[in-house]
Amino acid sequence: MPVQPVQKERPMRRMTRFLMMAAVASLAVAVTACSGSEATHTKPEDAARAAVAAALFTGPAGQSLSLEMTDLKFSTPALAAKSGELVEVALANKGSIEHDFSIAKLPGEKALRVGDRDTDVAKGNNEVHAHLRAGQTGVVRMRVSSPGAYEFFCTVPGHKEAGMKGTFTVQ
Protein backbone atom coordinates (compact mmCIF):
# COMPACT_ATOMS: atom_id res chain seq x y z
CA MET A 1 0.00 0.00 0.00
CA PRO A 2 1.52 3.30 -1.01
CA VAL A 3 1.96 5.99 1.63
CA GLN A 4 -0.34 8.93 1.12
CA PRO A 5 1.21 12.36 1.47
CA VAL A 6 -0.10 14.38 4.42
CA GLN A 7 -2.28 17.16 3.16
CA LYS A 8 -2.00 20.53 4.80
CA GLU A 9 -5.15 22.08 6.16
CA ARG A 10 -6.41 24.87 4.03
CA PRO A 11 -6.06 28.36 5.53
CA MET A 12 -9.76 29.06 5.02
CA ARG A 13 -10.76 25.98 7.03
CA ARG A 14 -8.43 26.94 9.87
CA MET A 15 -9.87 30.47 9.98
CA THR A 16 -13.45 29.13 10.02
CA ARG A 17 -12.66 26.78 12.90
CA PHE A 18 -11.02 29.63 14.86
CA LEU A 19 -13.99 31.95 14.32
CA MET A 20 -16.45 29.23 15.41
CA MET A 21 -14.52 28.61 18.64
CA ALA A 22 -14.34 32.35 19.34
CA ALA A 23 -18.09 32.70 18.78
CA VAL A 24 -18.87 29.81 21.16
CA ALA A 25 -16.59 31.28 23.84
CA SER A 26 -18.18 34.73 23.47
CA LEU A 27 -21.65 33.24 23.73
CA ALA A 28 -20.68 31.36 26.91
CA VAL A 29 -19.37 34.57 28.50
CA ALA A 30 -22.52 36.49 27.53
CA VAL A 31 -24.85 33.83 28.94
CA THR A 32 -22.91 33.70 32.20
CA ALA A 33 -22.97 37.49 32.57
CA CYS A 34 -26.71 37.71 31.94
CA SER A 35 -27.76 34.83 34.18
CA GLY A 36 -27.45 36.61 37.55
CA SER A 37 -29.90 35.77 40.32
CA GLU A 38 -32.15 38.15 42.22
CA ALA A 39 -29.80 37.86 45.20
CA THR A 40 -27.40 40.22 43.44
CA HIS A 41 -30.00 43.00 43.33
CA THR A 42 -30.39 45.26 46.35
CA LYS A 43 -33.84 45.16 47.92
CA PRO A 44 -35.26 48.39 49.42
CA GLU A 45 -35.25 46.92 52.96
CA ASP A 46 -31.57 45.95 52.54
CA ALA A 47 -30.74 49.49 51.47
CA ALA A 48 -32.65 50.87 54.48
CA ARG A 49 -30.75 48.56 56.87
CA ALA A 50 -27.46 49.61 55.30
CA ALA A 51 -28.38 53.28 55.79
CA VAL A 52 -29.23 52.67 59.47
CA ALA A 53 -25.94 50.78 59.97
CA ALA A 54 -23.95 53.58 58.34
CA ALA A 55 -25.65 56.20 60.52
CA LEU A 56 -25.14 54.21 63.74
CA PHE A 57 -21.46 53.61 63.02
CA THR A 58 -20.76 57.29 62.27
CA GLY A 59 -19.26 59.08 65.25
CA PRO A 60 -18.78 58.00 68.84
CA ALA A 61 -21.32 56.08 70.91
CA GLY A 62 -22.88 57.74 73.96
CA GLN A 63 -22.15 54.65 76.03
CA SER A 64 -19.70 51.79 75.50
CA LEU A 65 -20.15 48.36 77.05
CA SER A 66 -18.18 45.16 76.62
CA LEU A 67 -19.22 41.54 76.86
CA GLU A 68 -17.01 38.48 76.62
CA MET A 69 -18.30 35.04 75.73
CA THR A 70 -16.54 32.04 77.20
CA ASP A 71 -17.63 28.46 77.06
CA LEU A 72 -21.22 28.49 78.34
CA LYS A 73 -21.24 31.90 80.03
CA PHE A 74 -21.12 35.65 79.44
CA SER A 75 -18.62 37.78 81.39
CA THR A 76 -21.54 39.59 83.06
CA PRO A 77 -25.21 38.69 83.47
CA ALA A 78 -26.32 42.34 83.36
CA LEU A 79 -25.93 45.25 80.94
CA ALA A 80 -27.60 48.67 81.33
CA ALA A 81 -28.19 51.69 79.11
CA LYS A 82 -30.33 54.83 78.82
CA SER A 83 -33.30 54.92 76.48
CA GLY A 84 -32.59 56.84 73.28
CA GLU A 85 -28.81 56.87 73.79
CA LEU A 86 -26.49 55.33 71.21
CA VAL A 87 -24.98 52.27 72.92
CA GLU A 88 -22.06 50.23 71.67
CA VAL A 89 -21.55 46.68 72.92
CA ALA A 90 -18.09 45.31 72.07
CA LEU A 91 -18.29 41.52 71.85
CA ALA A 92 -15.42 39.04 72.09
CA ASN A 93 -15.72 35.27 71.88
CA LYS A 94 -12.94 34.04 74.18
CA GLY A 95 -14.34 30.50 74.15
CA SER A 96 -13.16 27.53 72.16
CA ILE A 97 -16.48 27.12 70.29
CA GLU A 98 -18.95 29.39 68.48
CA HIS A 99 -21.31 31.61 70.48
CA ASP A 100 -23.70 34.45 69.77
CA PHE A 101 -25.30 37.46 71.42
CA SER A 102 -29.03 37.59 70.74
CA ILE A 103 -31.94 39.71 71.93
CA ALA A 104 -35.40 38.59 70.82
CA LYS A 105 -37.39 41.83 70.92
CA LEU A 106 -35.60 45.14 71.08
CA PRO A 107 -37.36 48.29 69.84
CA GLY A 108 -35.22 50.88 68.09
CA GLU A 109 -32.32 51.06 65.65
CA LYS A 110 -29.70 48.32 65.59
CA ALA A 111 -26.57 47.58 63.57
CA LEU A 112 -23.89 44.92 63.75
CA ARG A 113 -20.28 44.80 62.61
CA VAL A 114 -18.25 41.60 62.79
CA GLY A 115 -14.59 42.03 61.91
CA ASP A 116 -14.40 44.79 59.32
CA ARG A 117 -17.78 44.26 57.68
CA ASP A 118 -21.35 45.21 58.52
CA THR A 119 -23.69 42.26 58.70
CA ASP A 120 -27.41 41.70 58.96
CA VAL A 121 -28.37 42.37 62.56
CA ALA A 122 -31.45 40.10 62.63
CA LYS A 123 -31.82 36.34 62.38
CA GLY A 124 -35.17 34.59 62.60
CA ASN A 125 -37.18 36.08 65.46
CA ASN A 126 -34.13 37.63 67.10
CA GLU A 127 -33.86 41.32 66.40
CA VAL A 128 -30.21 41.31 67.47
CA HIS A 129 -28.09 38.31 66.55
CA ALA A 130 -24.29 38.56 66.56
CA HIS A 131 -22.76 35.17 65.71
CA LEU A 132 -19.05 34.88 66.53
CA ARG A 133 -16.67 32.01 65.88
CA ALA A 134 -14.05 31.17 68.53
CA GLY A 135 -11.61 34.09 68.83
CA GLN A 136 -13.76 36.46 66.75
CA THR A 137 -14.88 39.94 67.84
CA GLY A 138 -17.85 42.07 66.88
CA VAL A 139 -19.67 45.28 67.73
CA VAL A 140 -23.39 45.89 68.14
CA ARG A 141 -24.58 49.49 68.09
CA MET A 142 -28.14 50.27 69.06
CA ARG A 143 -30.43 53.11 70.04
CA VAL A 144 -33.20 51.49 72.09
CA SER A 145 -36.42 53.48 71.95
CA SER A 146 -38.33 51.95 74.90
CA PRO A 147 -37.25 51.41 78.51
CA GLY A 148 -37.49 47.85 79.77
CA ALA A 149 -35.65 44.68 80.67
CA TYR A 150 -34.57 42.66 77.64
CA GLU A 151 -33.07 39.18 77.86
CA PHE A 152 -29.83 38.54 75.97
CA PHE A 153 -28.72 34.96 75.36
CA CYS A 154 -26.75 32.55 73.20
CA THR A 155 -28.84 30.63 70.65
CA VAL A 156 -26.36 27.79 70.14
CA PRO A 157 -28.33 24.68 71.21
CA GLY A 158 -28.00 24.03 74.94
CA HIS A 159 -26.06 27.21 75.77
CA LYS A 160 -28.98 29.31 77.07
CA GLU A 161 -30.20 26.34 79.10
CA ALA A 162 -26.69 26.00 80.59
CA GLY A 163 -26.90 29.60 81.83
CA MET A 164 -25.54 31.63 78.92
CA LYS A 165 -28.03 34.47 79.32
CA GLY A 166 -28.43 37.84 80.99
CA THR A 167 -30.55 41.00 81.18
CA PHE A 168 -30.08 44.22 79.20
CA THR A 169 -31.88 46.94 81.19
CA VAL A 170 -32.84 50.15 79.40
CA GLN A 171 -33.92 53.03 81.68
| pLDDT tens, residue by residue, 113-140 | 776 565 656 555 568 888 999 999 999 9
Please state, as a whole number, how many other Cβ atoms lie within 10 Å of the Cβ of residue 149. 11
User: How far apart, in whole angstroms, are the C-alpha atoms of residue 142 and residue 112?
Assistant: 9
Cα-based torsion angle of the residue sequence 68, 72, 123, 80 in order, rounded to the nearest 10 degrees: -50
Cα separation, 71 vs 116, in Å, equals 24
* pTM attached to this predicted model: 0.66
Read off the pLDDT of residues 17-62 as tens digits, 9 standing for 90 and up.
666 666 655 655 555 555 554 445 556 666 666 666 676 777 888 8
Give domain limits for the chain.
61-170
d(CA 144, CA 105): 11
Instruction: Domain 61-170: give its CATH code.
Output: 2.60.40.420
Strand pairing category for 165-170 and 148-153: antiparallel
